[in-house]
């Protein structure tokens, strides 16, 4: 997966490029990240990258010319590197809410150019002329678009084949099949008197699969019933959820 990042703080992305699953994926070439900093396009003595909003009001916006120049170069490099036109994404609270389905869509699509805003954001004409899609990681306001950009890149990157040690760990994630994840346990078997569920020690893979599915269904029913709305459960899932509810009601 090729990702171009437009950001005033590219060093923040070392959290992705130098650590963990994504860091290894970069090292192995499963993910390619390249950076363009609008400040590198500033020609004035102070290397200005922000500008005042028309109409007044608090805060600044990202300066149009330096931002557009960086997006343009990132887009050109995406096409040169992949032969494909990239999806140019701007992170903002006004965007499409990122979810696992969206992450899968981004992971399986064309190269991405991800634009991280700062200050109060960017000029609407840049959104109209240079941005293909706005995406949001949630209904709150952050000080910059770098963390949302890293969230989006991480959520998509881990779904790229070869990035996770066991591809099925992506399949078992919360939300991967639209359900919350089941509880997980590791050593020791007893933590302050709290024991690992016997089924997980049984070695019966079929029973373990059913227990995990039942827990996922039950947790989703309890914590996020909205995720079950409009969802058709197969016979096994219906039976397991019924079992969970009966046990829960006891
Ligand atoms: N929530 C979000 N999901 O994506 N981006 C945000 C977000 O708060 N962005 C900030 C708004 C102005 C500042 O420039 C950056």
Q: What is the pLDDT along the chain (250 residues), one digit of tens a residue?
A: 999 999 999 999 999 999 999 999 999 999 999 999 999 999 999 999 999 999 999 999 999 999 999 999 999 999 999 999 999 999 999 999 999 999 999 999 999 999 999 999 999 999 999 999 999 999 999 999 999 999 999 999 999 999 997 755 666 566 668 999 999 999 999 999 999 999 999 999 999 999 999 999 999 999 999 999 999 999 999 999 999 999 998 7
Quick check: pTM over 0.80? Answer: yes
Rounded to the nearest 5°, which phi and psi values hold at 91? -85, 125
Nearest-angstrom CA–CA distance, 39 and 119: 14
Q: 2 alpha carbon to ligand 1 midpoint, in Å?
A: 23
185 Cβ partners below 8 Å, 6+ apart? 196, 197, 200
Catalytic residue among 75, 87, 118, 158: 158
For 79, other C-beta atoms within 10 Å of its C-beta total 13
Q: Ligand 1: residues whose CB is within 6 Å? A: 91-93, 117-121, 136-138, 140-142, 144-145, 148
Question: What span, in angstroms and rounded, lies between the C-alpha atoms of 145 and 197?
Answer: 42
Looking from the CA of residue 137, the nearest atom of ligand 1 is 3
> Is position 104 annotated as part of the catalytic site?
no
Helices (H), 46-136: 64-82, 100-107, 124-130
Contact 90, 124 (CB under 8 A): no
Residue whose CB lies within 8 A of the most ligand 1 atoms, among 91, 95, 114, for a mutation test: 91
Q: Give me ligand 1 centre to Cα 32, in Å.
A: 24
Is 173 marked active-site?
A: yes
Catalytic position from the list 38, 118, 173, 219: 173
**Per-position b or e across 195-206, b if 16+ CB within 10 A of its CB:** eeeeebeeeeee
């Amino acid at each position: 997966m090729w990702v171009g990042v437009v950001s005033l703080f590219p060093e923040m992305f070392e959290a992705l490029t130098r650590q963990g699953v994504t860091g290894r994926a970069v090292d192995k070439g499963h993910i390619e990240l390249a950076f363009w900093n609008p400040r590198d396009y500033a020609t004035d003595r102070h290397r200005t990258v922000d500008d005042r909003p028309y109409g007044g009001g608090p805060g600044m916006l990202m300066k149009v010319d330096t931002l557009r120049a960086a997006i343009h170069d990132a887009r050109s490099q995406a096409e040169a590197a992949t032969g494909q036109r990239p999806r140019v994404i701007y992170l903002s609270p006004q965007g499409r809410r990122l979810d696992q389905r969206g992450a899968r869509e981004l992971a399986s699509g064309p190269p991405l150019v991800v634009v991280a805003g700062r200050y109060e954001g960017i000029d609407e004409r840049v959104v109209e002329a240079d941005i293909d899609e706005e995406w949001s990681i949630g209904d709150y306001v952050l000080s910059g678009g770098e963390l949302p950009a890293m969230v989006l890149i991480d959520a998509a990157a881990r779904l790229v084949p070869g990035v996770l040690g066991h591809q099925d760990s992506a399949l078992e994630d919360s939300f991967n099949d639209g359900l919350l994840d089941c509880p997980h346990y590791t050593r020791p078997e007893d933590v302050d008197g709290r024991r690992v569920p016997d089924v997980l020690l049984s070695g019966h893979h079929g029973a373990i699969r059913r227990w995990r599915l039942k827990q996922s269904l039950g947790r989703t029913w309890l914590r996020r019933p909205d995720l079950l709305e409009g969802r058709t459960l197969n016979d096994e899932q219906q039976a397991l959820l019924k079992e969970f509810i009966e046990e829960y009601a006891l």
